[in-house]
Amino acid sequence: MRVGVLLSGRGSNLQALLDAGAASWNVALAISNEPDAPGLARAGTAGVPTRTVPHRDFPDRPAFEEALDAALRAAEIELVVLAGFMRVLGPDFVARWRDRSVNIHPSLLPAFRGLDTHRRALEAGVRWHGCTVHFVRAELDAGPIVLQAAVPVRPDDTEESLAARVLAREHHVLPMAVGWIAEGRVRVEDERVVAVDPGDSSVNPSQ
């Protein structure tokens, strides 16, 4: 399966995908909306084609997303992974890539959707925090959940220390979730992710 990664920053989750590489999938394209995103250099070092689609160059979100969609389709991408992509995608783009796009979010969804998740977790006094890989839907951070990982919140945690432990778990679960999807081990039914028998010939993960 050809995977396209959308990123806006340093690209540590992209690096986790590059390091994990598997026979069933590969990172075939990395796109950033930020021309100076360090993640593009990571991709280039690994020999992965890169594209920059700066959102500021377009008059509105639909025009930006048309260019994004065109770049993904030109590269024959089958699964889109949002890995630190700091743009909210509109309903038309999401519909085009329905059940073929996933996001990694730094909280145990449905808790703490949106930004500043680590600060909000500490303020709420939760005992467990973590990350979630989910299919993308038009509603922010609300799609069917593929995989989650939890970390305990320690009494002396700061935003930075908690974020670092969560990020380490992100680097583990994101490649695992991509592998499950690429191998046809999961699919979406009635807006829930269900496990699939790998021997079921009716399942085609690239569809």
Q: What domains are there in the chain, each with its CATH number?
A: 2-195 (3.40.50.170)
Q: List active site positions.
A: 105
- Please give the Cα distance from 25 to 180 (Å, whole number): 10
Q: Which helix (H) or strand (E) holds 187?
A: strand 186-189
The DSSP secondary-structure symbol of 195 reads E
Q: Residue 206: is its pLDDT beyond 90?
A: no
Mean pLDDT of the region 148-177: 98
Q: Residue 153: is its pLDDT beyond 50?
A: yes
- Please give the Cα distance from 96 to 116 (Å, whole number): 29
pTM above 0.75, yes or no: yes
pLDDT in tens, 31-75: 999 999 999 999 999 999 999 999 999 999 999 999 999 999 999
Helix (H, G, I), strand (E, B) or coil at 23: coil
Residue 105 bridge partners (DSSP): 132
